[in-house]
Every structure is written in C-alpha cells, then in structure tokens.
Amino acid sequence: MRRFRAFTSLLIMKIAFTGKGGSGKSTVATLFVAHLRAAGHRVLAVDADVNVHLAPLLGVTAHSRGALSHPDNVTALRSHLIGDNTLIGGVQRFVATTPPGPGSRPVTLDPGDPVLAAHAVALDERTHVMHVGTYEPEEIGAGCYHGHLAILENLLSHLRTLDGDWVVCDMVAGTDAFANSLHAQFDAIVVVVEPTPESVTVARRYRELAAAAGVADLLVFVGNKVADEIDRDYLRRELGTEPLTVLTAQAGLRRARQLGVCPSLTDLDDATPLRRVAEHVRPVDPRRRRALLRDLHLKTAGKDWVRNAYGDVSDQLEPVTV
C-alpha cells in the first residue's frame, strides 16, 4: 500500500492539444515538443488523433502493428500495468477508467522502461513517440475511435514522471476527449483556434464541456494562423477572453510543410508563444485528479453495457480512507 501511495502522489506534467480539424493543433503540438526538447526536458509525445499526424511530423513512421490500440499491444500493455494488483481481476476486466492500485506497475520516461521499449520510438534517449492508431479496413462499421483511446487512458493513469518530464498528446479533433476520462488526465488542455467561425465554435463548445466536467480552469486557448490585429480582435470577441498566446501566420513554417519537411523551431519567426504555454502549465493536485477519475470510473461502472461485458468493475477502486 505504501509503495502505491508514493506512486500516485507524484506530480505529472501532461498537456493535450486539441481543436477543430485543420486548426493546426498537430503542428503546434509538434513545435511544443521541439521547444521542450530544446529546453532539455524528457518528453513522451503521443499521437492520439485518428488521422495520425503528430508521429509523421516528428519523423516517425506510424505502422499499424506498433499502434497502442492494436489488440496484441492492448493485451500486452494492460498485462504489464496490472502487475500484482488483484483488484482489477485480470486483463479481461481492464476498462478505460480502470485505475492503478496496490501492486500496479507504473510507466516512466526512463529509457529502459519496458513500456517505452515495447511501444515507443526513440528520437533520442530523452524523447519518445507513441501513436494510438487509426481505423483499419477490417474495423469499418465495427466500432468507434473511442474504443481505441481506452488504452491511452490506461497509459496516462499509470504514468509516473519526474520533475521536468512532460507528456504531450495530440488529441482527436473536436470534443471527443470528453467521451471517457481523458479530459481528467491532463494538467492543461490547449485548444488551438483559428480566427474563423468554425474554429471558434468548436473552441466555445470545448469550454462549455470543460466547465461541465469540472476542468474549466485547465483549458486555455492558443490562437493560430493569426495574420493581423483584426484576427486578434476577432478571437477576443468571439471567445469572450484573451487567448493565452497567439502564433502568427508563419511563412517559414508553411514553406517547410510544402516541402514535406518536419516543422522545427527554426521555421518560426518567434518561439515565445511556445514558452508561454510551457510556463502556464501547473500540475493538478493529485487528490483532485484521483477524485475526478474515481467519479468517472464509478460512472463507467454503472453503465449497463459495462456491467454486461465486464461485470461490476466498481470493486477495482480502493476504499476511501480519511
């Protein structure tokens, strides 16, 4: 019990990038990873978008066999995470919201961590890249992408990082992260928003859902492709607030992408917006996160389809102690 409490009390820096499709969220996430690497941080970058853009933008080829959501990898990863935790009841009862417990194995960003070794591509000894995966031909009409994201929820809830470590997730576009518990897994949720009606509509909807989910304080807006002061005023007016920072339209970045080159910090006129995002993030109180995830697990456990498929998974939670 003592070992598990030490594991769960550590502060974890996890940030998600989302927004309307085409807003540039994957590119901004890629540049943020580059900023963290340049600053000397250990980084785990996770491509959780069904379109799988972050991994290629970081120079990684995303093969289907290497996807976290590949059935073989799901089984292997969950088997590892269970460790000696007898509360789960076996891999067959591991659901998206299943929490770590006594005897669970944490995942770290150490280069020798078995999860990184099996499921990540190393850009260097301090930077690793994973991808959740996308639809495969045999899955057409047989399910939704939320099922793929369940293994990412398991990974995030079992992470243990050290001070200065970062986990950066490029999320699926739109508001799908509220389907399960992903919104409660991060220390910051960055909504990348263009100065267009469609993009700000998605951003406002994300804010509404974040408020309803109890994580409104973790949500920030980052303007992208901002050409002039008219664009800035448009974002302020339509969002009803000042964005945390804005990235202007970057000719160098656009040229690099036209050439098929991975984006880099040298393509930017000014990397200050990335630094502002990094400086803004603060670790969520572990007690708050545990309470959020506990409530979400109980909500999941109460669903009829979960009971029918997995039995009563509410017994995977440890008793609350005062």
Helices and strands: H and E segment counts in the chain: 12, 8
Let me know if residue 318 belongs to a domain: no
Q: For the chain, 322 residues long, give each residue's pLDDT as a single digit of tens.
A: 334 444 443 456 899 999 999 999 999 999 999 999 999 999 999 999 989 999 999 999 999 999 999 999 999 999 999 999 999 999 999 999 999 999 999 999 998 999 999 999 999 999 999 999 985 555 555 555 567 899 999 999 999 888 889 999 999 887 777 778 899 999 999 999 999 999 999 999 999 999 999 999 999 999 999 999 999 999 999 999 999 999 998 888 889 888 888 999 999 999 999 999 999 999 999 999 999 999 999 999 999 999 999 999 999 998 876 5
Read off φ and ψ for residue 167, nearest 5 degrees. -120, 125
Let me know if residue 196 belongs to a domain: yes
Tell me the C-alpha distance between 190 and 2, whole Å.
34
Let me know if residue 315 belongs to a domain: no
pTM here? 0.92
Beta partners for 129? 45, 121
Other beta carbons less than 10 A from residue 48's beta carbon: 27
pLDDT value of residue 320: 73
Give the residue carrying structure tokens 């700000």: 200
Please give the DSSP secondary-structure letter assigned to residue 79. Answer: H
Let me know if residue 319 belongs to a domain: no
Task: State whether residue 266 is helix, strand or coil.
Answer: helix
* CATH code for position 109: 3.40.50.300
pLDDT value of residue 7: 44
Closest listed residue to residue 149, CA positions, set 44, 13, 50: 50
Identity (one letter) of the amino acid at 10? L
Let me know if residue 317 belongs to a domain: no
pLDDT value of residue 5: 42
Helices (H), 137-239: 145-157, 197-213, 229-239
Please, is 126 exposed, middle or buried when counting C-beta atoms within 10 Å of its C-beta (0-12, 13-18, 19+)? middle
Tell me the C-alpha distance between 31 and 276, whole Å.
13
Let me know if residue 322 belongs to a domain: no
Let me know if residue 203 belongs to a domain: yes
Tell me the C-alpha distance between 285 and 173, whole Å.
27
Count of domains observed in the chain = 1
* C-beta separation of 206 from 183 below 8 A: no
Structure tokens at 147: 């099922």
pLDDT value of residue 2: 36
CA 149 from chain centre, in angstroms, equals 10
Let me know if residue 28 belongs to a domain: yes
Domain that holds residue 82: 2-309
CA 188 from chain centre, in angstroms, equals 10
